[in-house]
A and B are shown apart, each in its own frame.
Chain A
Amino acid sequence: MSETFLGMPSFPAFPVAARAAVQDGTLRGNLRHATHTIRAKRAKAVAELPDWAELREAGRRIKDHTLRHLDRYLVQVEEAVTAAGGTVHWAADATEANRIVAGLVRATGESEVVKVKSMATQEIGLNEALEAEGIRAYETDLAELIVQLGRDRPSHILVPAIHRNRGEIRDVFRSEMGRWGRAAPDGLTDEPADLAEAARLHLREKFLRARVGVSGANFVVAETGTLVVVESEGNGRMCLTLPETLISVVGIEKIVPTWRDLEVFLQTLPRSSTAERMNPYTSMWTGTTDAETADGPREFHLVLLDNGRTDTLADEVGRQALRCIRCSACLNVCPVYERAGGHAYGSVYPGPIGAILSPQLRGTASAVDASLPYASSLCGACYEVCPVAIDIPEVLVHLRERVAEGGRATREGSTVVLRPARGHAVERAAMRAARWALTRPAALRTGQRIAGRARRLQPRSLPGPGRAWSASRDLPAVPAEPFRDWWRRIYGAGGTAAARPGPGGDTGKDTR
């Protein structure tokens, strides 16, 4: 079977890609400006709700409960959507999902589709798959348009063109819009309002003639079969209501059990993602409407996508990543993302959530996926802001263990035993040595004394295989005297700290 595909070919390991990214002054400036702008606004929007903690907990519990009974809720979604006039398709992987969508588009006789921004369709590389079938997919979200016109890659979940500043966007519009349709107006400035107007004019033509729309969904309500798309610009409404046929590709983790559950996420998602009390537009639809109402598409298809999600679900620690509602707050607070940018993560899911999602959806076989669990300082800011309380640091550590130690995992529905990854032999050897030494006090003491006496010979970086580790880290300084020797000298064997000088009062000692 094919490898689970997340929309991109093979990428270099995170440290390699990040090293190049941090040298790019423009990129760092753009990212710093954008992430700091949204951080402060988000904090304010969240602080407005005195019950934020309770909403966050409810969101976590709703998602956890749904995941724990996902088989039941999937069947319920299928029944409800079918009863409301929709057609449900099941796609085990990206290839199958793309084949289903291409077939549905071909059946309409159309050769172009308009698209609402959707992570699931990016994940499966739908645009490229449709192109291969002679179907042109037009991205209609402003940031997606910028990425598509610039033949670029998305670098952020919410704002895929976050790595571009207004001047760069103007240049892309000026040079590329004409190739795809209506050209940019003469004298286009880099004012955001002018750029938005240029996008409005460019896409208007495509919306008005579109016969097929393709979307994802933020939520699917199991009890009613209702799909929910949350957006800002109105491009979503255009794609969801004007075409005759609508195809929605939705990950199986997007389900919530009841209509009422939306009351939690419609409060937490907008505030956490764009820092708004409510996003400008939210569309909710249930199947199709009857001939008399005639509101929106006459044909509706829901494609339920697995593509590695059930493998993720099989991991009791890692499955919490499937709670994600794609708000991107974790990207915006992450010190690593802010400096490295989204492209270094080698996936449509960048940032902290990407570092735990991609290696679970795709497995840890590739260089980039094996490196992603390490693309973090474990500072925990991502967990703090997560509106569904995903403990990202916990999953990162769990995945590091899987990469370094190997062990059981689920791939495409089957249990496999992973071998320890190459390149972690030194780490494993160091851990084994530490375990040996830390369980033998006498050996540890001797080793520490020798290291203390030889500390002037300490190198600035490690030699041989340890060089990779010390390339991005300072080696900790070795003290002249081990702590336990110091304690014994000051307090004597079995002594207590009462009325004794602390280390600060112990003058003349070189603590370097």
Chain B
Amino acid sequence: MSSRDRILGRVRRALADVPRDDTPYEQAVPRTYLRRHGDTDAGRTVALLAARLADYRADVHRTDPAGLPELVARLLAARGADSVVVPAGLDPGWLAAAAATAVPDRPESTPRELDRIDSVVTGCAVAVAETGTLVLDGGPGQGRRRITLVPDHHVCVVRVPAQVVSSVPEALERLDPARPLTWISGPSATSDIELDRVEGVHGPRALDVVLLADGDGPPPEPAA
């Protein structure tokens, strides 16, 4: 007997008490919890995202399309970045003013090569206000998962309010599970020493989040 058959046989014997007409999945789980915890106002949702990102030590910046190249250039320069990984599909205008050498995200580049690059600039798939989370799905302007992992500095541009949702349930609705997904909430951290949070372990130690007013929403507030 294969182990597959052995395990499935054990499971079926273990569940002899479960009736054949047991409550189906759709009725077995009450979904009485909230879809979101705040209101639906776009401006307040974006403000909450900014606050929650800052809470976990991400640096939050606000700008509009005209100000973006200048801001990205400034953020890269502030970290002394000489090189920056650029994912396929990133709007070339975003890096128009940057002095750092652009290195494309290629399948054949090795982790060691990536380790020599200072920064990475990406967009995202969705951002979750309540938890201060950015989700990347490898789509245009986001790149392979490793490019936002190995370089020590990540600049992530979020189009607001279009890419912002309030809650985790709303975020999952927008995502495609077939794509490789990375949820990022602040720079890397650990609670392993005395259960106290310390920022900065293996992932990028610096996370700059740019909230880019995309014209559909309210005018941008002054930079945070």
B29 engages A58 (CB within 8 Å): yes
A208 engages B112 (CB within 8 Å): yes
A313 engages B11 (CB within 8 Å): yes
Most buried by B among A50, A70, A161: A70
A49 within 8 A of B: yes
A166 engages B194 (CB within 8 Å): yes
Q: Which of A12-20, A230-238, A427-435, A471-479 contacts B (4 or more CB under 8 A)?
A: A230-238
B72 CB, min distance to chain A CBs, angstroms: 23
A227 CB, min distance to chain B CBs, angstroms: 10
B196 engages A37 (CB within 8 Å): yes
B200 within 8 A of A: yes
Give a binary string over A198-225; 1 marks a CB under 8 Å from any B CB, 0 the rest. 0110011001110000000000010010
8 Å CB contacts to B: which residues of A27-78?
Answer: 30, 33-35, 37-38, 48-51, 54-55, 57-58, 61-62, 64-65, 68-71, 74-75, 78
Q: Which of B14-22, B74-82, B215-223 contacts A (4 or more CB under 8 A)?
A: B14-22
B177 engages A233 (CB within 8 Å): no
Q: Knowing that A48-B37, A235-B202, A280-B187 are A-B contacts, what are 8 other residue pairs whose CB atoms are under 8 Å apart, sorted by A's residue number? A: A69-B22, A69-B25, A70-B11, A143-B192, A259-B177, A279-B185, A280-B188, A285-B180
A119 CB, min distance to chain B CBs, angstroms: 15
B15 CB, min distance to chain A CBs, angstroms: 6
Query: Which residues on A sit within 8 Å (CB–CB) of B189?
Result: 232-233, 280
Query: Which residues on B sit within 8 Å (CB–CB) of A286?
Result: 177-180
Closest to B149 in A: A237
B81 CB, min distance to chain A CBs, angstroms: 19
* A58-B31, A237-B203 known; A280-B184 Cβ under 8 A: yes
8 Å CB contacts to A: which residues of B1-21?
Answer: 2-4, 6-15, 17-18
* A196-B201, A204-B115, A235-B201 known; A37-B185 Cβ under 8 A: no
Q: Which of A90-98, A177-185, A343-351 contacts B (4 or more CB under 8 A)?
A: A90-98
| B132 touches which of A68, A278, A293 (Cβ 8 Å) | A278
Q: Could you tell me the distance between the alpha carbons of A71 and B11 in the complex, rounded to whole angstroms?
A: 6
B29 engages A54 (CB within 8 Å): no
Most buried by B among A35, A65, A209, A319: A65
A74 engages B8 (CB within 8 Å): yes
A319 CB, min distance to chain B CBs, angstroms: 8
8 Å CB contacts to A: which residues of B152-208?
Answer: 168-169, 172, 177-198, 200-204
| A266 touches which of B22, B168, B193 (Cβ 8 Å) | B168
Closest to B146 in A: A241
A272 CB, min distance to chain B CBs, angstroms: 13
B145 within 8 A of A: yes
| B185 touches which of A142, A237, A276, A310 (Cβ 8 Å) | A276
Closest to B137 in A: A284
Query: Which residues on A sit within 8 Å (CB–CB) of B13?
Result: 314, 410, 413
Q: Could you tell me the distance between the alpha carbons of A84 and B180 in the complex, rounded to whole angstroms?
A: 12
Q: Could you tell me the distance between the alpha carbons of A193 and B107 in the complex, rounded to whole angstroms?
A: 33
B133 engages A278 (CB within 8 Å): yes
Give a binary string over B70-102; 1 marks a CB under 8 Å from any A CB, 0 the rest. 000000000000000000000000000000000
B130 within 8 A of A: yes
Give a binary string over A114-147; 1 marks a CB under 8 Å from any B CB, 0 the rest. 0000000000000000000000000011110010
Query: Which residues on B sit within 8 Å (CB–CB) of A69?
Result: 15, 18, 22, 25
20 A-B contact pairs sorted by A residue (CB < 8 Å): A50-B34, A51-B37, A71-B15, A78-B4, A96-B3, A143-B192, A169-B193, A197-B200, A207-B111, A242-B150, A264-B33, A279-B185, A281-B182, A281-B184, A284-B181, A293-B180, A294-B107, A295-B145, A296-B145, A314-B14
* A192-B194, A278-B132 known; A90-B4 Cβ under 8 A: yes
B128 within 8 A of A: yes
Give a binary string over A250-270; 1 marks a CB under 8 Å from any B CB, 0 the rest. 001000011111111011001
A277 within 8 A of B: yes
Query: Which residues on B sit within 8 Å (CB–CB) of A207?
Result: 111, 202
| Interface set of B (CB-CB < 8 Å, partner A) | 2-4, 6-15, 17-18, 22-23, 25, 28-34, 37, 52, 55-56, 107, 110-112, 115, 128, 130-133, 138, 144-146, 149-150, 168-169, 172, 177-198, 200-204
A241 engages B188 (CB within 8 Å): no
| B37 touches which of A33, A49, A169, A196 (Cβ 8 Å) | A49
A289 within 8 A of B: yes
A508 CB, min distance to chain B CBs, angstroms: 54
Query: Which residues on A sit within 8 Å (CB–CB) of B197?
Result: 274, 276
B218 CB, min distance to chain A CBs, angstroms: 25
Q: Could you tell me the distance between the alpha carbons of A35 and B194 in the complex, rounded to whole angstroms?
A: 9
A201 CB, min distance to chain B CBs, angstroms: 10
A249 within 8 A of B: no
* A277-B131, A296-B145 known; A284-B192 Cβ under 8 A: no
Query: Which residues on A sit within 8 Å (CB–CB) of B30?
Result: 54, 57-58, 61
| A306 touches which of B10, B18, B128, B180 (Cβ 8 Å) | B10
* A237-B149, A296-B180 known; A159-B188 Cβ under 8 A: no
B64 CB, min distance to chain A CBs, angstroms: 28
Closest to A117 in B: B192
Q: Could you tell me the distance between the alpha carbons of A193 and B29 in the complex, rounded to whole angstroms?
A: 43
Query: Which residues on A sit within 8 Å (CB–CB) of B8?
Result: 71, 74-75
A461 within 8 A of B: no
Query: Which residues on B sit within 8 Å (CB–CB) of A232?
Result: 188-191, 201
Closest to A142 in B: B192
A320 CB, min distance to chain B CBs, angstroms: 13
* A69-B18, A233-B201 known; A142-B190 Cβ under 8 A: yes
